[in-house]
Amino acid sequence: ILYIVVLLLPCLAVAQNPLKTVREANRLYRDSAYDKAEVFYKKGFALDSTDVRTHYNIANTLYKQGNYDEAATLYQNILYNKTLSNKEKSQVLHNLGNTSIRKEAYDEGIKSYKEALKLNPNDTETKYNLAYALQKKQEQEQQQQQQQQQEQNNQNNQNNQNKQQQQQQQSQDQQNQENQRHQQQPPQQNPVDKMKREDAERVLRAMDNQEKNTLDKMKKIKTAQGVKHEKDW
């Protein structure tokens, strides 16, 4: 037990001394052990909450680990610190802009970079990042326009297809109604057949009239000659 306690004494000393804690956090940060560096930075900040640099470095470890929302919140809180110089504020704004770019929030990133350049106009890295953000925003807008145009084309094609289907359906319905109407109506007589029938009826009427006239003549003759009781050979 004594041996273990002896080994822990340096760690306890570091934990109670904010400067040593921060130095250890810096070493871990340089070694890219960002999760462990975050722990030590937070311990140092708990021992001395007035140290704005430690607060800033906590935000940096979060950024390095991909926790962009948490990092952005800390950067924004740091900006309220009145002890910051213009150069320090520009650095915070630069990193705040980086978190926005990582989230593809290019408008917010551009705003942060521009504010940083107002405080430190000669910062070439911020200028480069601003140009990069402007380019990515333009690409994003073009992509959105292409996507909207594609969606509009798809919608137009769908509307045209629906319209064609409706027209086809209406045409089919009309054809079905026409066929049904023809089935319900009696078949129309062929004009040629109608003429033949009228001619036949006229001939029959003529024959009837002729036969009637012949019978009338025969009656008159029989009446004049009298009735024959025997047929002549």
The whole-angstrom separation of Cα 71 and Cα 94 is: 12
Question: How high is the pLDDT of residue 193?
Answer: 55
Q: Which pLDDT tens digit goes with each residue over 144-178? A: 999 888 898 898 888 888 888 888 888 888 888 88
Q: Which pLDDT tens digit goes with each residue over 4-39? A: 333 333 444 444 678 899 999 999 999 999 999 999
Distances (CA, A) of 115 to 106, 132, 137, 183: 14, 16, 18, 83
Q: Which pLDDT tens digit goes with each residue over 114-133? A: 999 999 999 999 999 999 99
pTM listed for this prediction: 0.61
